[in-house]
Amino acid sequence: MKKEECFYLGKIVSKFSFKGEVLIKLDTDEPESYVKMESVFVDYNNNMVPFFIERSALHKSDLLRVKFEDIDSEEDADDIMKAEIYLPLSLLPKLEGNQFYYHEVIGFTIVDANFGKVGVIKGINDSTAQALFEIDRDGIEILIPMNDEFIDTIDRDTNTVHVTTPEGLIDLYL
């Protein structure tokens, strides 16, 4: 399994017991959806290694307490501390309408109601206060805020995101 074929689920943040249990900080709005997992992929030394789960339970709000098979001591748990946890993309629930996963719209074309075809989404920048579409227009980078008020429709059949941006926003980049 390659990292590109997976989505980030969370990170092992601490040990929980002397028997190798760990706490995983989940990066999700629905942590209860991930309590019954049988296995996960752990990014271990830059390899996606499958780890099988003996038992798991929610701990507080967004922490998952996990006992992995063959992780039976604090030393074993130390070895995977701070590792990132992934699941295959095929396990993501399908979204409909204007809801989308960031990875899903990479390569989609952005069309603005006033400007017309803007360009192709090459990435999503979510390191800022407002997530941004990173759009390539013939080598020029255009940034459009991923604001619900700007996004009109997501057309998965034609791989197009239709937006209505404030007048002049796109022109700032050209």
Q: What is the pLDDT of residues 46-74, one digit of tens each?
A: 899 999 999 999 987 779 999 999 999 99
Q: What is the pLDDT of residues 141-154, one digit of tens each?
A: 999 999 889 999 99
Whether 105 contacts 58, CB under 8 Å: no
The 8-class DSSP code of residue 90 comes to G
Q: Full-prediction pTM beyond 0.85?
A: no
Query: How does strand 151-155 pair with strand 47-59?
Result: unpaired
CA distance 18 to 95: 40
CA dihedral 96, 99, 103, 109 (to 10 degrees): 90
Q: φ, ψ for residue 73 (rounded to 5)?
A: -150, 170
Query: How does strand 39-44 pair with strand 22-26?
Result: unpaired
- C-alpha pair distances (Å), 98 with each of 46, 110, 132, 146, 165: 34, 14, 16, 11, 16
At 98, is the secondary structure helix, strand, or coil?
coil
Tell the residue number behind the tokens 């992780």, with chain if given.
Answer: 71
In terms of pLDDT, which residue wins out, 94 or 7?
A: 7
